[in-house]
Chains A and B, each alone.
Chain A
Amino acid sequence: MLKILDFFDYAKSESLWMAHFCTGCCSLEMAAAMGPRYDWERYGYLPTPTPRQADVLMITGLVSKKILPALLRTYAQMPEPKYVVAMGACSFDGGPYNDSLSVIKNPTEILPADVFIAGCPPKPEAIIEGLEQVKQKIKNGEPSAASQGGLWKEMEF
């Protein structure tokens, strides 16, 4: 029985689809990671236009106040199990926009991320490495961070 469960985790982890949702500038490097040189499809990643088919939500950089409700709604529309990857300095503490008060400085307190990818913007290699860590997390059977807590559970969106 245990072995069959392991197989499902393996299968899930090897075809990660992410919701096609750009919140900020880092999506440009995400596009580069899709491109021929880095070609993340080799690893089983694919952007999908609808959250209903997605396994991973990528916070691509800055999250402004206005787009946060849309981000949370997209997350809520994704089927379980679902994971969150935070890209770039902005998703950690606002990054270069830390002084700007129209940008949310703690997006991952609101929607906790499983993996942080550092950089401004992160290089495509780093993005792929980050997604590999998500794979590992799924293979280990660990639950996602956002399912454990986060301010998003108390918010209306």
Chain B
Amino acid sequence: MENVRKIIENFTCEYVENYKKTWLKAKLSSKDDLLNLSEAIKKEGLRSLSTVSPTDFLEDNIMEMNYFFEDLDTKRNLWLKVDLPRDKEGCKIESLTPLFASANWHEREAFSMFGVQFLNHPDLREIIKSEDFKGVYPFRKDFDWDAHEKNQTQNIQQIVDAFKKEQNENEKDLDPDSSETILNWGPTHPASGPIRLRVHCDGEEVISIDPDIGYVWRALEHLVTKKDFVGAIVAVERLCFMDNINSMVGYCMAVEEIAEVEITPFASWMRVLLGEVARVSSHFMGLGGFFNNMGLHTLGMWNMDTREFFLDFLESYSGARIATASIEPGGVRYGLDMSMFDELQKALDKFDNSVGEVEAVFVKNPTMKLRSDNVGILTKEEVHEFGLSGIVARASGVKTDIRIDEPYAAYGELDLEYITQEKGSAKDRFMMLFLDLKQSVEIIKKAKAHIEKAVADAKMNPTKDHMVKVPKKLPKGEAISRVEWARGEVLMHLVTEEKAKTPYRLKMRAPSFNHTMMLNHLLKGQTLADIPLIFGSLYICQGDLDR
């Protein structure tokens, strides 16, 4: 960390300060230094750029850029800020994509939503937002959404026209005598979900892939600014329905940091327990999806059966199977009736009884191994370069897991170990999912035992300890929080104004965004039949891809 600090102090900064245990926070005085500084810290080892998040301060006439650099090996992180003018001519900065490949789509997103121009970006096209927003920047504070929405039919017409134009023109550069063509994979492909891949292929061989995303764009980051701090959890949990608890945990941690509130031990253990239940139910779908994409639906069905028991527990706790809204700033929303653990015990028993069979039939399946062991290989170096996280990174042997790197909730009291695979192939990612699932179930067992013991010893009161009060109005401030989500690292960057009742800005860095960026890289030169397999192995959810 000292080395990083020394490097930064070579440049003129407004401040350099320590932030949390593993973070350094600095603000550059001039945007001209950004490129040189980034190059220097890349050499030092901070090789991944997690995300780029502009914040639009309308009154100060400033666009504040936030860069989050990470070193997945030594767990050193840097939060770098630099101010830009807001106006169209001045809102320009050097692109970091030539240095950090992971910046590519994140800079495109910042360009689409805030109109920040990145100089020397190799491919600065708009992304996520639909065609009717072309040339306007919806997340700027002075953008008039209501005026834009007055004529919905016309907006839809614009989207249709753009699509038709693209379909008419997309093959005009191709040689008509060759077998090259451009295929649309999705958005109605059974394996794709709402995403469209423009596959440029020559017969069976894939030449390049250009994902077209934004089919479930709900502008969540804008939506939360219209809600109060508690109401915002409804939007945050819809980041992705498969694992909604952990995204709420991340958001609530950021709110609690600004409000300077400590949650109770009971609440933090419940966050671990509920978070792992959500992770388990998500991983079940992921494992099933991998085999579904290869054409075998049995594992999906078996997993769905076990998953129902875990959802039963969530239902008994919160009343809802999926949209639980059960994590709130200040703790967890509901108290716990100890009889609810009976449902959880049923789920754990069901898992223990069925996991052996799943392992024997599917995890050790020789046909699966033969098919997927040599496709979609991601090296360690690429994980760093493209800022990948979660099971995708661990499958390539990179030891990264936010639960261990930067423990939150009660994870610090659990003795967790990194689980990794070596090769980084599609099979390894599948194996990783399965091992992660098993680890999660072990964590649930430990958390459950811990809560039961503490309640029996009268150290925790499950009906009263679940919440501490968080003021409705928050002071001016900002915070970041990171959680290990089912798909990888979620980074939340929350900014509040003086006496704020609503978030001023919430940036959600979601892992599927980076993983989808890898599709072109992984599928170049492969065959069409590999698309569903590799797509399935990357464990992508469109919800957090588009937000």
Which A residues are within 8 Å of any B CB, using their own CB?
19-25, 27-29, 31-32, 34-37, 47, 49, 51, 62, 64-70, 74, 96-97, 99-104, 120-121, 123, 151, 155-157
Please encode chain B, from 139 to 154, with 1 for each CB lying within 8 Å of some chain A CB and 0 for all others: 0000001101100110
Taking a contact as CB atoms under 8 Å apart, the answer to whether A64 and B322 are in contact is no
Decide if B130 touches A66 in the complex (CB within 8 Å). yes
| Contact pick for A102, options B157, B219, B241, CB 8 Å | B219
B51 to chain A, nearest CB (A): 21
Judge whether B223 and A28 touch: CB under 8 Å: no
The answer on a CB contact under 8 Å between A120 and B219 is no
CB distance from B147 to the nearest CB of A (A): 10
- Chain A residues with CB under 8 Å of B226's CB are 99
Report Cα–Cα, A27/B241, bound state, in Å.
10
Residue contact A67 to B308, C-beta cutoff 8 Å: no
Give the residue among B146, B214, B241 with the most A Cβ atoms within 10 A.
B241
Is the beta-carbon distance between A66 and B149 smaller than 8 angstroms? no
Q: Pick 25 A–B contacts, CB within 8 A, sort by A.
A: A21-B188, A23-B216, A31-B285, A32-B307, A35-B301, A35-B305, A37-B304, A37-B305, A64-B215, A64-B218, A65-B130, A65-B152, A65-B156, A65-B159, A67-B187, A69-B156, A69-B160, A96-B234, A96-B238, A97-B218, A97-B238, A101-B145, A101-B148, A102-B129, A157-B156
Q: Chain A residues with Cβ under 8 A from B222's Cβ?
A: 100
B-side contacts of A37, CB under 8 Å: 304-305, 308
Cα separation A19 to B188 with both chains bound (whole Å)? 9
B480 on interface, CB distance cutoff 8 Å: no
Known contacts A64-B218, A97-B235; 15 additional CB pairs below 8 A are A20-B190, A28-B285, A28-B322, A62-B218, A64-B217, A65-B130, A65-B159, A66-B217, A96-B234, A97-B218, A99-B223, A100-B220, A102-B130, A103-B218, A121-B241
Q: Residue on A with the closest CB to B193?
A: A22
When C-beta atoms are compared, the residue in chain A nearest to B282 turns out to be: A28
Interface members, chain B 176-221 (any A CB < 8 Å) = 187-190, 193-194, 214-220
How many angstroms from the CA of A100 to the CA of B235 in the assembled complex? 10
A120 cross-chain contacts in B, Cβ below 8 A: 323
Q: Which of A24, A31, A96, A156 contacts B216 (CB 8 A)?
A: A24
Q: Which residues from A are CB-within-8-Å of B323? A: 120-121
Closest chain A residue, CB of each to CB of B155:
A65
Contact B304 A31 (CB under 8 A): yes
Residue of A nearest to B226 (CB): A99
Query: Of residues 228 to 276 in B, which have CB atoms within 8 Å of A's CB atoms?
Result: 234-235, 238, 240-242
Is the Cβ of A32 less than 8 Å from the Cβ of B149?
A: no
How far apart are B369's CB and chain A's nearest CB, in angstroms?
26
Closest 4 CB pairs of A and B: A35-B304, A66-B130, A25-B241, A36-B305
A104 and B190 form a contact (CB under 8 A) = no
Is B163 a contact of A69 with CB atoms below 8 Å?
A: yes
A100 and B234 alpha carbons, distance in the complex (Å)? 13
CB distance from B284 to the nearest CB of A (A): 10
Knowing A20-B190, A35-B305, A100-B223 are in contact, say whether A29-B322 is a contact too (CB < 8 A).
Answer: yes
- Beta-carbon contact of B188 and A123 below 8 Å: no
- Please indicate which of the listed interface residues B146, B214, B223 has the most CB atoms of chain A within 10 Å of its own CB: B223
Question: Taking CB as reference atom, which chain B residue is nearest A32?
Answer: B304
Assuming the contacts A51-B188, A66-B215, asked whether A22 and B194 have C-beta atoms less than 8 A apart, the reply is yes
Chain A residue numbers with a CB within 8 Å of B190 are: 20, 47, 49
- Chain B neighbourhood of A99, CB < 8 A: 223, 226-227
Contact A67 B194 (CB under 8 A): yes
Shortest Cβ distance from residue A75 to the other chain B in the assembled complex, whole angstroms:
11
Cα–Cα, bound, A32→B307 (Å)? 9
Closest chain-A Cβ to B98's Cβ sits at a distance in Å of 30
Query: What's the least CB distance linking B299 to chain A, in Å?
Result: 12
B543 within 8 Å of A (CB atoms): yes
Contact A28 B218 (CB under 8 A): no
Q: Which residues of A contact B304 (CB under 8 A)?
A: 31-32, 34-37
Give Cα distance in the complex from A120 to B138, angstroms: 27
> What is the minimal beta-carbon distance from A78 to any residue of chain B, in angstroms?
12
- State whether B242 touches A28 (Cβ < 8 A): yes
A101 touches B149 (CB 8 A): yes
Q: Which of B153, B157, B188 contacts A70 (CB 8 A)?
A: B188
Q: Judging by beta carbons under 8 Å apart, are B160 and A20 in contact?
A: no
B132 at the interface (CB under 8 A from A): yes
Instruction: Kindly report which residue of chain A lies nearest to residue B196, judged by CB atoms.
Output: A70
Chain A residues with Cβ below 8 Å from B307 are: 32, 35
Q: How far does the alpha carbon of A20 sit from the alpha carbon of B188 in the complex, in Å?
A: 7
On whether the beta carbons of B241 and A68 are closer than 8 Å, the reply is: no
Type the 1/0 row for B333-373, where 1 means its CB is closer than 8 Å to any CB of A: 00000000000000000000000000000000000000000
Docked pose: A32 CA to B242 CA in angstroms: 12
Q: A47 vs B308: C-alpha distance in the bound complex, in angstroms?
A: 20
> Is B321 on the interface with A (CB-CB < 8 A)?
yes
- Within the complex, the shortest CB–CB distance from A98 to chain B, in Å, comes to 9
B residues 305-323 in Cβ contact with A at 8 Å: 305, 307-308, 311, 321-323
Which of A28, A64, A66, A156 contacts B241 (CB under 8 A)? A28
Q: Which residues of B contact A104 (CB under 8 A)?
A: 152
In the bound complex, what is the Cα–Cα distance between A37 and B311 (angstroms)?
A: 12
List of B residues within 8 angstroms of A101 by Cβ = 145-146, 148-149, 219
CB of A123 within 8 A of CB of B321, answer yes
Cα A23 to Cα B321 in complex, Å, equals: 20
With A and B bound together, what is the CA distance between A36 and B188 in angstroms?
Answer: 24
- What's the Cα separation between A36 and B125 when bound, in Å? 44
Q: Are A74 and B219 in contact (CB under 8 A)?
A: no
Q: Which residue of B lies closest to A69 (CB)?
A: B160
- What distance in Å separates the Cβ of A26 from its nearest Cβ neighbour in chain B? 9
Bound-state CA distance A99–B216 (Å) is 15
Contact B218 A74 (CB under 8 A): no
Determine if A121 and B322 form an interchain contact, defined as CB atoms under 8 angstroms apart.
Answer: yes
CA distance A69 to B241 in the complex (A): 24
